[in-house]
Amino acid sequence: MTQKGNASRERITAIANNLIYTKGYNQTSVAEVADAVGITKGNLNYHFRSKDDLLQAVIANRITTIIATLQQWDHDYPQAKSKLKRFVQMLRSEEESIVRYGCPMGSLNVELGKDQLPLKDKAWQMFDLYQKWLAKIFVQLGYKNSKSMSKHLLVMAQGAALMSYIYSDKKLLREECDRIEEWIDSI
């Protein structure tokens, strides 16, 4: 709560995003965020009138990132199965943080799910972006049950992220990625 700090909304949001991911939303105080940014609580409350308001901005930010990522993937990987593999690849490239902090989407949804329903809806949208994107691909692949298939892929990815997080086990995460990719090849 010292230092100077040019505190644009974006700057605060980015730092809050990181803290909320690594510590959890309820376990992160606004004082901590302000401290990390280098401003005072009072100043932070000028930019965001409430803690929930801050989380909304964080989630909105994540949603924007996800949309951009999916567009990029659509552009980079024309083939349907390549898109699916790219999705799995995300688990591999993020293995370090997943094993330490879990999946940012999964953790946040679990945390908000028990109460705080209005915010949960926002957090839920993150999942739905991936799900709808995946479903589109399964349609391309000729599946009638594209929704079920896309959710199944999310189930495997979330299960892999969750268990490798709980066991702090990179090897497990890699093995599960292998299995998911085998599954993609087999369909």
Contact segment (CB under 7 A) with DNA among 13-21, 24-32, 94-102, 138-146 equals: 24-32
Q: How far is the CB of 168 from a copy of itself (least distance, A)?
A: 9
Dig out the tokens for 154 from the structure. Answer: 């999310």
Question: Nearest to residue 149, comparing CAs of 63, 100, 104, 87?
Answer: 87
User: In 3D, which of 113, 101, 82 has the Cα closest to residue 20?
Assistant: 101
Is 46 an interacting residue with respect to DNA (CB under 7 A)? yes
- Ranges within 120-179 binding DNA (CB under 7 A): none
Six token digits for residue 40: 């005072």
The DSSP call for residue 94 is: T
DSSP code, position 169: -
Q: Is 165 in the site for a copy of itself (CB under 8 A)?
A: yes
Name which of 30 and 90 has its Cβ closer to DNA.
30
* 68 is a contact residue toward DNA (CB under 7 A): no
Using the minimum distance from each CB to DNA, give the nearer residue, 3 or 93. Answer: 3
Asked whether position 104 contacts a copy of itself by CB under 8 A, the answer is no
Q: Is 148 in the site for a copy of itself (CB under 8 A)?
A: yes
Q: Does 1 bind DNA (CB under 7 A)?
A: yes
Phi-psi region of 8 (alpha: psi -120 to 50; beta: other; left: phi over 0): beta
Q: What is the dihedral of CA 97, 11, 86, 179, to 10 degrees?
A: 20
Q: Which residues in this chain contact DNA in the complex, by CB under 7 A?
A: 1, 3-7, 28-31, 38-43, 45-47, 49-52
